[in-house]
Structure 1
Amino acid sequence: MSSDPFDPSGAPREPDPSQWEELLRSMFGADADEAMAELKARGLDPELLAAGSALQNDPAMLRQVLEQVKQMLTATGTGPVNADVAHDVARQAAVAEGDPSLSARDTRVATEALSVAELWLDAATELPPGGGRAVAWSRSEWVEHTLPAWSTLAQPVAASVADALGAVLRDQLPEDLSELGGPEGGIPGMAGLSTFLGGTDGFDPAQMMRQIGSAVFGMQVGTAAGTLSREVFGATDIGVPLLSEPATVLVPTNVSAFAEGLDAPEDEVRLFLALREVAHARLFTHVSWLRGHLLGLVEAYAQGITIDMSALESSMREIDPTDTEALRGALSGGVFGLQSTPEQEATLLRLETVLALVEGWVDEVAAQAALPHLPHAVALREMIRRRRAAGGPAEQTFASLVGLELRPRRSRDAATLWATIAAQVGTEARDGVWDHPDLLPGTEDLDDPAGYFSRREQVTADQSDVDKALAEIFGEDSTTDAPATEPSDDSSDGGATDDGTTDGPTDR
């Protein structure tokens, strides 16, 4: 029979059970005869399966769907995000538009640019080099090194969705699993899928949906990471730390693609992007608390998201588990509706502020380092600013997966703040603001950069008053471990905290 789903008159052909049986046999491989006998013994008729499928007129699509379902259900990865599926999909997406191997020259010019950037940056910041290797990566290599971090970012939401799926299915499924997908309702396609997986004896639909959900999230993460690999210039330009070890990275293929059509020569573009990469690396390496602080905010935001259970239950009644595109849409947050609490909104504001501060600091120090050396530094700075503000499809995918956007909304305000601080007290004091998370500027400081230090002094004074009041309440015993010489009450030094840091930058 022809594979064309339509006959010469243009009408849809009737499904051919032999084709469906052939597809099922191809799925089972060497054990096809035994598996088919078992399926028929359990009442699966390929003709009925063909007639009941929405894909009955498209055998090629059916084959693709069955392959995807089988891949999702047999993947060895575990956890809320199936890392194996994410890896395979990401590698495919990374090479979708080509991923040429790097030549010796590609590697040399990239690593030389990173080395030059380190020298130039010494004049713009007090933070020393990160100490990691300078490397050039292909798109596939970028995926290999950064994918674990992306999976980690998506896990909190994926876990919440998996729990919600299990709860909905437990409430929705009938006691007799043979009724799944029957004429009375239930989940479309579940009956055929359960039979395809070996019948209803011992079949756990809730666990199956968890497994499918894990794989679908893996597909989402892989797609986004693979797409990002075609857009990024290094390992840090997304704004969150993706590497567990210090390193500076350039992706020469993407750098060259970005430089095409620009007025600036490619070597200038490469050096400017190298400055940004090196600045990020110095910040994430030497501000030891920053990585954990950022990832902790992401996790806190994602874990606190609540799922609209009624929307999820409604969507699951309408989604065929064999329709992977529908599942991907549902499990990406578009169907069940992520709901943020006021606490989550506060966490989101803190996260967006820190992301803006990171981006603004990098923007400022990279520009200062570039100005004496690159004629097009100002134009390149503006180009990168606009690019970061606009985002792209991959960042939008992660926004739906993680529940937030990894774009610094106020990076221009943050760059102005850092420039103002440097003008007031110098680059050493500016970089010293990163000494402790309590010293970080907030949204009020982004609104009024010039008032940052006066506000910090007030916070320090208030804290000193609290310390004095506590000392009076608890008496002299609370000071037995204090140094023999105490600073005077009107000292401008910030008070010492339990971890040895200072409460404020008033000495800067």
Structure 2
Amino acid sequence: MVDWKLAVATASRLARPGPEIGREEAREVVAELRAHAAAAEEHVRAFTGMTTAEGHDTPVLVVDRPGWIEANVAGFRSLLKPLMTKMRARRGSGPAGVITGAVGGKVTGVELGVLLSFLSSRVLGQYETFAPATRELPGAPKDGGRLLLVAPNIVHVERELGVDPHDFRLWVCLHEETHRTQFTAVPWLRDHLEAEIQAFLAETDVDAGTLLERLSDAVQAFTGGRRGDSATTGTEAEPGARSGAHPTGSAPDARGGDTDGRSLIDLVQTPAQREILARVTAVMSLLEGHADYVMDGVGPRIVPTVVEIREKFQRRRAAGANRLDQILRRLLGLDAKLRQYRDGERFVRAVVDEVGMEGFNRVWTSPNTLPTAAEITRPAEWIARVHRSPEP
């Protein structure tokens, strides 16, 4: 169904070259990122009170853009394996099915490669949790997992912003190390997210005709065209790059072309998938907002120029590089991810202000204590449910 090798080759070939940097400077950047990651680990754990569970420690990998691409393809391949099996069974084993699968796999491989090439120059860091551990991609002993720091992208952004490079690298590591701490201190979190994603994939309509019709409706909605006999349905949530996104409100009408800020990914989902992604969105908003909150809490004590960095980075996040970049961000749902950061951070801040860090950390007790999509925007409801109700 997907030619994974072609996806890697396409993405690596199309990925833009990184900033010009000498070999010695590159070594220094890699060494500094590793040192900052180790230092950030201690600061994050002291600030949050979270510690790594036994057997769940994970490595920090400093990678280039092709390395990030290979790690994400490995993660996609692992996550999508059940869906691929389902689609192969639906296709059948006759000659027509084999030919269709071979051609479709090439097409899908190229499409995935194009998407990853776009994202590979934008990601500063990522906690990749789903790819199995290998010699080339080491991970946690029990269930994989590794922190990826994309060195050329970090150097590119620090130069673009004109900020102190050493401070910026530490600042990035604080955010990403918080994600690593979340998954290593809360072992059930990975399995919970994987179960939700697999439930989402299980609801995928594998009938090509139906999927294409739904995609056509989505395109009509974005272009303001008319089908005359149907209206696209929107979604309450959408996935970002291994993350999730943000509730987006009521369903649009394709005949009027009103997508209400939704992405193409949004508009081809089924109602059952929208419910699942609403839950995933809430979790990912929590994780991203928690990372931003920790970064802001620790940063002023150890990053001298944190105010300048934060201000310039926020402006960069909001603006986008150019018109094409803004369009692609919307189509891929990346604009919703920015809202996810803001809503999640507001939730964490409100809860900590009310019940303290120890009280906030009850969020990690079990899946039942995670906030719902509604509670992310109304933290008082989470506090009432978790802190003023019997123990979950």
TM over 0.5: same fold?
yes
Single out whichever of 440-449 and 303-312 deviates more from structure 2.
303-312
Change (3 A) 1:437 1:135: same
Q: Partner of 2:32 in structure 1?
A: 109
Partner residue of 1:215 out of 106, 127, 130:
106
2:287 paired with 1:358: yes
Partner residue of 1:86 out of 7, 16, 19:
7
Q: Partner of 1:133 in structure 2?
A: 59
Contact 1:272 1:377 in 2 (8 A): yes
What displacement does 1:262 show? 1.8
Change (3 A) 1:98 1:209: farther
Q: SS of the counterpart of 1:340? A: coil
Single out whichever of 410-419 and 276-285 deviates more from structure 2.
410-419
What displacement does 1:284 show? 1.4
2:274 paired with 1:345: yes
Q: SS of the counterpart of 1:127? A: coil
Single out whichever of 218-227 and 100-109 deviates more from structure 2.
100-109
CA distance in structure 2 between the partners assigned to 1:154 and 1:397 by the alignment = 24
CA distance in structure 1 between the partners assigned to 2:317 and 2:348 by the alignment = 18
2:192 paired with 1:262: no
Q: Partner of 2:193 in structure 1?
A: 294
Partner residue of 2:125 out of 212, 234, 246:
234
Q: Partner of 1:413 in structure 2?
A: 343
Contact 1:120 1:370 in 2 (8 A): no
What displacement does 1:436 show? 0.7
Contact 1:259 1:266 in 2 (8 A): yes
Change (3 A) 1:389 1:253: same
Contact 1:305 1:339 in 2 (8 A): no
2:209 paired with 1:309: yes
CA distance in structure 2 between the partners assigned to 1:153 and 1:382 by the alignment = 36
CA distance in structure 2 between the partners assigned to 1:338 and 1:215 by the alignment = 24
Q: SS of the counterpart of 2:47? A: coil
CA distance in structure 1 between the partners assigned to 2:72 and 2:37 by the alignment = 19
CA distance in structure 1 between the partners assigned to 2:87 and 2:267 by the alignment = 10
The runs of 5 or more residues in structure 1 that have no matched partner are 1-79, 171-202, 316-333, 462-493, 495-502, 504-508
Q: Partner of 2:174 in structure 1?
A: 275
Change (3 A) 1:310 1:252: closer
Contact 1:367 1:378 in 2 (8 A): no
Contact 1:355 1:408 in 2 (8 A): no
Q: SS of the counterpart of 2:126? A: coil
The runs of 5 or more residues in structure 2 that have no matched partner are 133-138, 140-144, 216-262
Amino acid at match of 2:111: Q
Amino acid at match of 2:116: A
2:66 paired with 1:143: no
CA distance in structure 2 between the partners assigned to 1:302 and 1:395 by the alignment = 28
Q: Partner of 1:250 in structure 2?
A: 149
Deviation per residue, 1:202-257 (Å, 9 max, x gap): x9233211111122222222232233222222233xxx635552444422211110
CA distance in structure 1 between the partners assigned to 2:98 and 2:319 by the alignment = 39
Change (3 A) 1:391 1:280: farther
Change (3 A) 1:296 1:381: farther
CA distance in structure 1 between the partners assigned to 2:111 and 2:286 by the alignment = 29
Matched pairs, number: 327
2:374 paired with 1:374: no
- Normalised TM-score (structure 2): 0.69
What displacement does 1:359 show? 0.4
Change (3 A) 1:399 1:211: farther
Contact 2:161 2:312 in 1 (8 A): no
CA distance in structure 2 between the partners assigned to 1:363 and 1:455 by the alignment = 24
Change (3 A) 1:389 1:298: farther
Contact 1:120 1:369 in 2 (8 A): yes
Partner residue of 1:439 out of 353, 369, 372:
369
Deviation per residue, 1:66-119 (Å, 9 max, x gap): xxxxxxxxxxxxxx2222212222332346567976732122111122122223
Amino acid at match of 1:421: V
Amino acid at match of 1:428: E
CA distance in structure 2 between the partners assigned to 1:342 and 1:394 by the alignment = 29
Contact 1:220 1:397 in 2 (8 A): no
Change (3 A) 1:426 1:256: same
CA distance in structure 2 between the partners assigned to 1:405 and 1:210 by the alignment = 33
Contact 1:235 1:250 in 2 (8 A): yes
Q: How does 1:421-432 map to 2 (within 5 A)?
A: 421-432=351-362
Contact 1:272 1:366 in 2 (8 A): yes
CA distance in structure 2 between the partners assigned to 1:133 and 1:314 by the alignment = 41
Deviation per residue, 1:41-65 (Å, 9 max, x gap): xxxxxxxxxxxxxxxxxxxxxxxxx
What displacement does 1:132 show? 3.1
CA distance in structure 2 between the partners assigned to 1:207 and 1:90 by the alignment = 25
Deviation per residue, 1:366-419 (Å, 9 max, x gap): 111102222442453455556667789899989989x99983643322212212
Contact 2:40 2:173 in 1 (8 A): yes
What displacement does 1:163 show? 7.1
Q: Which structure: larger Rg?
A: 1
Q: SS of the counterpart of 2:60? A: strand
Q: Partner of 2:45 in structure 1?
A: 122
Q: Partner of 2:221 in structure 1?
A: none
Amino acid at match of 1:241: T
Percent identical residues: 25
Q: Partner of 1:59 in structure 2?
A: none
Contact 1:134 1:249 in 2 (8 A): yes
Q: How does 1:162-177 map to 2 (within 5 A)?
A: 166=91
Amino acid at match of 1:219: V
- Normalised TM-score (structure 1): 0.55
Change (3 A) 1:104 1:264: closer
Deviation per residue, 1:98-147 (Å, 9 max, x gap): 79767321221111221222232233211126743334222222223332
